[in-house]
Structure 1
Amino acid sequence: MRIVLRDLATCRWLEFSEPVAVLAAREHADVMETLRNIESRVDEDNLWAAGFIAYEAAAGFDQACVTQESTGLPLLSFGLFRRAEELPEPELSTEPSGNSADWQLDTAQHTYMRNVERIREQIALGNTYQVNYTMRGQTRAIHNPWQLFLDIARDAPLAAYLETDEYAIVSASPELFFRLDGSALTSRPMKGTAVRGLDASDDARRHRDLLNSVKDRAENVMIADMLRNDMGRVADPGTVVAESLFDIEKYSTVWQATSTVSAATGKPVSEILAALFPCASITGAPKIASMELIAKLERSPRGIYTGTIGYIAPGRKAQFNVAIRTAHVDRRSGDAEYGVGGGIVWDSRPALEYAECLAKGRILRQRQAPADFQLLETMLWTRESGYFLLDGHLSRLSASAEYFDFDFDKEHIIEELQKLAMTLHNEHHRVRLLMDKTGETILTETALCLPTQSAAFRVCLAKRHVDTDNVFLYHKTTQRAAYENALEGVDDCDDVLLWNREGYLTESTVANVAVRLHERLYTPPIRCGLLPGVLRASLLESGELHERPIRLSELADAQEIILLNSVRKQYPARLV
């Protein structure tokens, strides 16, 4: 057994390997006894325990909890280790992972929506107030689970990876089930989700909508109240406190609403688990009635999904996540399962709930960028006018810095650009600005000889469509794989026109695109999957350019194709 997880207190990675023993339970009657034995070994032998508890272990804590029958995984399994080793930041591999990106949901959309209506009927009858209804994504080709972990979980605050000879568990969880430090007990339940926008303006709108959502706020407060009640079963009298409610946190694919509940307790970890498990955020309210409905409606056991992964350390220290955004991989066959779901309340709209599930699964289709990727701006400097459209470049850089949580110091960047300008002597220069996550910038320049009249660029259509879910299409960065892939094998063209799955034009590999149709100049809207170019924005603002989707079939009727970027400005193109 090998386990890697992020320690929330230190933000460092801990690795557990070569256990002195592995303790597991497969029957509900053995769950509490096994946990007590684990705790005893930690306290008496100064060992660390790390492992997981499956959702179906719930009846081992409270016989009133109803789940489907567990299959495959033990109800709980913990390794006992002499120490936890600190692990350097895991690095992404540039090699293909060999893992499938083709995940299929086990529940058809019409079935999901019908079950949401069944839950709403139970709410109307007063049998429940909220139910966390979930389904499974499945694939048959995860041959490298560690690479899957690096792809989806490396940046998650409560990430965890566990492997044995038979299976692997990959968790990209952002949710803290509980942390114990001496007598201090803290839980941070999550409830309320909004899909992140792919460009900065849409992302800000979605954040605002979640912050102002009465429905999501009500769900969040309801779950926080349940945690307060559960915590009260093991807390010292009068110590349960809701430290904060409905904090909005940013993650790679979603905005998430979180609350923080704390208490003081002298109870052992096994009793804390018995009081809190499973976490209220992944069952519903009331817990017992919601779990009964979950068992009837969901197609399969949850397994590790919505269970918990964590460790118990000497000195009354423990940390456990809520195992959402978590995959279970059969290491022999490559079969894998990943759960997605959400809280259903009376005013839930089935189609929107289904769309939210799809958004939560989007993480499976995108590999994380290396931690050292940089933001990029390329500008034109002229002796006569200085930096062309500088405000637009700085505005775009600021928006991307906000999106990716990069430090950004506008005044410092302007100062560095001014210093560079004093060293430039040619009529025209191309200035390239790179900025890393700490806000440190690197400026380079190249003298330019811009032609007064250039021949039309020869452009051809890309062989494959771009993925509009690729966030790096909407931000100018050093992550240029989509553009580099489009240029592969292209020898007889100067540039390539990109297009999306729906057959709409997007951009070229180095420029925005404008097409003259019926005497008006049009450019595709950002939502089609393209960079918000600085010159493009300026021309839209002036009224010289207009937005509308452009089908590839319309290019044959185009009176003119123009490429736009802020260094070469506007230059003609010819489709070959």
Structure 2
Amino acid sequence: MNFSEIIKTVLKKQGNAFFYTPSFYDDSKSYLFTDSLRQIDFNYDENLSTKFSEIDSSISDGIPSYGLINYEFAYMLEERFKHFLNSTGGALFKFYLFDKNNVTVFNSNKINFDDNPNNDYSIGEFKLSATKNKYLKDIEKIKNYIAAGDTYQVNYTSSGMFDFRGSIERLILNLIFNQSGEYVAIINEFPKLIISISPELFFTVKGNIITAKPMKGTMPRGINLKTDSINKLKLLDSGKDKAENIMIVDLLRNDLGRICELDSVCVKNKFQLEKYETVYQLTSKIEGRLLAATFSEIIKNIFPCGSITGAPKIRTMEIIQELENRKRGIYTGAIGFYADNKTVFNVPIRTIELDLESGKGLIGMGGGIVWDSNPVEEYNEMLLKAEFLLNLQPLFEIIETMLLENKSIFLLEYHLKRLEETARFFLFKYDSREINSKIDEIVKNSDFSEKYKLRLKLNKWGRISLEINPLKIYCGEFRVQISDKRVNSGNKFLYFKTSNRELYDLQLKSSRKAGFYEALFLNEKNELTEGCISSLIIKKNNKYFTPPISSGILDGCYRQYFLDNNNNVFEKSIFMDDLIEADEIFLCNSVRKMVKVLFDSGE
């Protein structure tokens, strides 16, 4: 089924929902719920036991269902919170029941994303619910509460409001492209549409085993392979982040202990690193063997998830109510479903509430505050959580351009290594066997006497396309010019070969039209970086020099091959004077190999 058709189905009727797991997760399945049989609502003043009994009975009978639990539903579960409740805002907990024939189960690999909707959208007028000054002051208040012994950690949140116009299908597609959360939920709560791209599991139940996986500890991703690896190690070595994580693990172990067999609750994986497009996160996995616990008993004992409250839970939630002084709604509550004899509920972070009539949107952001938290750093981390909406990258593909000659791919190992590293960096699905098979087929059908340019494209969902053309001979002069457009070494797309290269494509077209073979770019530090399709190498006194990766360049396959196979090649920053004074200048790539070029500083 096409992705856009699925979203259109969700939008057709209130209560329709789609739960999606990206295909690079193991055994990924997705669920489309349509035309609910009935809806069970928990309002602020209702008796819980009757409604919970209905839900428990439906699950016991194997009826597929899903639920939405607002954070404020917790106020109905604890006597100390009852005075926080009020009659406005509608149901705090909704549960939808479905006929089995109206629940479609997909292998996520089979969902077709090739029908990309062409319509665009815009997000504007973004405004935080709290000023920076208030946010910083509230963090200081939290630290005072910690000093007084009221709490150890507070998950303090804010929200952002924005205006939305345009294609909802395109927005959702871009969101799941940019944020590979394992627990995606698109739910029609007309007039609201809930779009949750959550990476955090609240709990799952299969048989008598309950599993929780709290998420605490955040570090931004790097801009290239080196800085990304550094940031990854920083998070794994962060005492602060580990301390936050273990506090919440202890809280959830205690919560699960109420509903599990004695001594069965254990931590399976502590401080596991999870990678997303913009951040690294630390998670820990907790398991226990349930007593005869129903769904209602689970919710009564562990909701809300401790990772979005802090510890100790009750007193900390009172502090949250005092300082935030607003409704969180579905954000940090719970969203999940029952189907295929399993229950899966997530913590709805990275979650948007969009009014389909007015176009007004709401997004929540937050983070855990502990004694040694730096208020400014916490504020910046909170803003980082909104990047998945406010700084969406356009859809792009990974590209490799290779030389096929004598029925063999030149530097194939280099290309495949770079392709896989790029796929891992951007969280693209990568199937090495399928890629090698398709390349082998192309090579087998090629003419031994011909040279070809082979272009491989890989999209987010693992779709591979190959285009082969006879290699054209360049007949012009091998002169280069300096582009008047600057690049910035902080742009991560400079370090990877993707279709997001409009600047280079336009410059190459312009340079060729002006009679040049290539154009070289300067970065913000006046360092020469690379050409539009070539790596730069200069020769001086029988030594070769090429810019370092940190200048903002692609690790070209031929460039790396040249470094690996010559002991008189060095990486160093190259400036205009170096270019002018060079004995020889070369541009190289794996298709044209190494080409000597001319540069006239007077042109």
Aligned residues: CA RMSD: 4.6
SS of alignment partner, residue 296 of structure 1: helix
Q: How far off is 1:417 after superposition?
A: 12
Query: Which aligned pairs between 1:189-204 and structure 2 lie closer than 5 A?
Result: 189-204=214-229
Question: Is 82-91 or 341-350 further displaced after alignment?
Answer: 82-91
1:132 is aligned to 2:140: no
Looking at structure 1, the residues matched to 338 and 431 of structure 2 have their Cα atoms a distance apart, in angstroms, of 35
Q: How far off is 1:247 after superposition?
A: 1.2
Q: Does the 8 A contact of 2:431 with 2:462 survive in 1?
A: yes
Q: How far off is 1:360 after superposition?
A: 2.4
Aligned to 1:39: 56
Aligned to 2:338: 312
Looking at structure 1, the residues matched to 83 and 481 of structure 2 have their Cα atoms a distance apart, in angstroms, of 63
Q: Does the 8 A contact of 2:480 with 2:520 survive in 1?
A: no
Query: Which aligned pairs between 1:431-446 and structure 2 lie closer than 5 A?
Result: 432-433=455-456, 444=468, 446=470
Looking at structure 2, the residues matched to 185 and 512 of structure 1 have their Cα atoms a distance apart, in angstroms, of 53
Aligned to 1:13: 30
Q: How far off is 1:10 after superposition?
A: 5.3
Distance verdict in 2 for CA 1:528–1:324, change over 3 Å: farther
Q: How far off is 1:179 after superposition?
A: 1.2
Question: Is 471-480 or 50-59 further displaced after alignment?
Answer: 471-480
Equivalent AA in structure 2 for residue 97 of structure 1? D
Q: Does the 8 A contact of 1:67 with 1:301 survive in 2?
A: no
Distance verdict in 2 for CA 1:77–1:381, change over 3 Å: closer
Aligned to 2:243: 218
Aligned to 1:85: 104
Looking at structure 2, the residues matched to 500 and 270 of structure 1 have their Cα atoms a distance apart, in angstroms, of 59
Looking at structure 2, the residues matched to 498 and 280 of structure 1 have their Cα atoms a distance apart, in angstroms, of 50
Aligned equivalent of 2:264, options 239, 245, 262:
239
Distance verdict in 2 for CA 1:433–1:10, change over 3 Å: closer
Looking at structure 2, the residues matched to 489 and 191 of structure 1 have their Cα atoms a distance apart, in angstroms, of 49
SS of alignment partner, residue 99 of structure 1: strand
1:474 is aligned to 2:495: yes
Q: How far off is 1:238 after superposition?
A: 2.9
Question: Is 135-144 or 532-541 further displaced after alignment?
Answer: 532-541
Q: How far off is 1:225 after superposition?
A: 1.4
Query: Which aligned pairs between 1:425-464 and structure 2 lie closer than 5 A?
Result: 425=449, 430=453, 432-433=455-456, 444=468, 446-450=470-474, 453-456=477-480, 459=483, 461=485
Question: Is 121-130 or 502-511 further displaced after alignment?
Answer: 502-511
Unaligned runs of 5+ in 2: 1-14
Aligned equivalent of 1:406, options 430, 433, 456:
430
1:249 is aligned to 2:246: no
Q: How far off is 1:475 after superposition?
A: 1.7
- Deviation string 1:103-140 (CA, Å, 9 cap, x unpaired) is 44333444333332332222222221111112222211
1:54 is aligned to 2:77: no
Distance verdict in 2 for CA 1:238–1:416, change over 3 Å: same
Looking at structure 1, the residues matched to 495 and 83 of structure 2 have their Cα atoms a distance apart, in angstroms, of 43
Q: Does the 8 A contact of 1:20 with 1:82 survive in 2?
A: yes
Aligned residues: percent identity? Answer: 32
1:289 is aligned to 2:315: yes
SS of alignment partner, residue 362 of structure 2: strand
Q: How far off is 1:448 after superposition?
A: 4.5
Equivalent AA in structure 1 for residue 104 of structure 2? E
Equivalent AA in structure 2 for residue 278 of structure 1? P
Query: Which aligned pairs between 1:173-572 and structure 2 lie closer than 5 A?
Result: 173-263=198-288, 264-298=290-324, 300-313=326-339, 317-365=342-390, 367=392, 375-379=398-402, 393=415, 395-403=417-425, 404=427, 406-408=430-432, 424-425=448-449, 430=453, 432-433=455-456, 444=468, 446-450=470-474, 453-456=477-480, 459=483, 461=485, 472-478=493-499, 480=501, 509-511=532-534, 531-534=554-557, 546-547=572-573, 565-568=589-592, 569=594, 571=597
- Deviation string 1:440-493 (CA, Å, 9 cap, x unpaired) is 89584633535594244585548xx99966x54432134556756889999966
Unaligned runs of 5+ in 1: none
Looking at structure 1, the residues matched to 523 and 415 of structure 2 have their Cα atoms a distance apart, in angstroms, of 26
Aligned to 2:41: 24
SS of alignment partner, residue 357 of structure 2: coil
Looking at structure 1, the residues matched to 119 and 600 of structure 2 have their Cα atoms a distance apart, in angstroms, of 35
Looking at structure 2, the residues matched to 31 and 97 of structure 1 have their Cα atoms a distance apart, in angstroms, of 44
Q: How far off is 1:275 after superposition?
A: 0.5
Equivalent AA in structure 2 for residue 22 of structure 1? Q
Q: Does the 8 A contact of 1:100 with 1:140 survive in 2?
A: yes
1:114 is aligned to 2:137: yes
Question: Is 489-498 or 89-98 further displaced after alignment?
Answer: 489-498
Q: How far off is 1:320 after superposition?
A: 0.8
Q: How far off is 1:19 after superposition?
A: 1.5
Q: How far off is 1:188 after superposition?
A: 1.3
Q: How far off is 1:39 after superposition?
A: 3.1
Looking at structure 1, the residues matched to 249 and 263 of structure 2 have their Cα atoms a distance apart, in angstroms, of 17
- Deviation string 1:350-373 (CA, Å, 9 cap, x unpaired) is 333233223322211455776xx7
Q: Does the 8 A contact of 2:161 with 2:362 survive in 1?
A: yes
Equivalent AA in structure 2 for residue 64 of structure 1? R
Aligned to 2:8: none
Looking at structure 2, the residues matched to 117 and 528 of structure 1 have their Cα atoms a distance apart, in angstroms, of 40
Looking at structure 1, the residues matched to 76 and 306 of structure 2 have their Cα atoms a distance apart, in angstroms, of 17
SS of alignment partner, residue 352 of structure 1: helix
Equivalent AA in structure 1 for residue 153 of structure 2? Q
Q: How far off is 1:33 after superposition?
A: 4.1
- Deviation string 1:542-572 (CA, Å, 9 cap, x unpaired) is 6676438x9xxx99x9999997655455646
Looking at structure 2, the residues matched to 265 and 574 of structure 1 have their Cα atoms a distance apart, in angstroms, of 80
User: What is the total number of aligned residue pairs between the two structures?
Assistant: 558
Distance verdict in 2 for CA 1:60–1:80, change over 3 Å: same
Q: How far off is 1:211 after superposition?
A: 1.7
Question: Is 492-501 or 215-224 further displaced after alignment?
Answer: 492-501
SS of alignment partner, residue 211 of structure 2: strand
Equivalent AA in structure 1 for residue 36 of structure 2? P
Distance verdict in 2 for CA 1:490–1:332, change over 3 Å: farther
Distance verdict in 2 for CA 1:74–1:468, change over 3 Å: farther
Q: TM-score, normalised by structure 1?
A: 0.80
Looking at structure 2, the residues matched to 498 and 451 of structure 1 have their Cα atoms a distance apart, in angstroms, of 23
Aligned to 2:17: 3
Q: How far off is 1:423 after superposition?
A: 5.7
Looking at structure 2, the residues matched to 513 and 293 of structure 1 have their Cα atoms a distance apart, in angstroms, of 58
Looking at structure 2, the residues matched to 486 and 447 of structure 1 have their Cα atoms a distance apart, in angstroms, of 21
SS of alignment partner, residue 300 of structure 2: helix
Q: How far off is 1:500 after superposition?
A: 8.9
SS of alignment partner, residue 267 of structure 1: coil
SS of alignment partner, residue 386 of structure 2: helix
Distance verdict in 2 for CA 1:420–1:572, change over 3 Å: farther
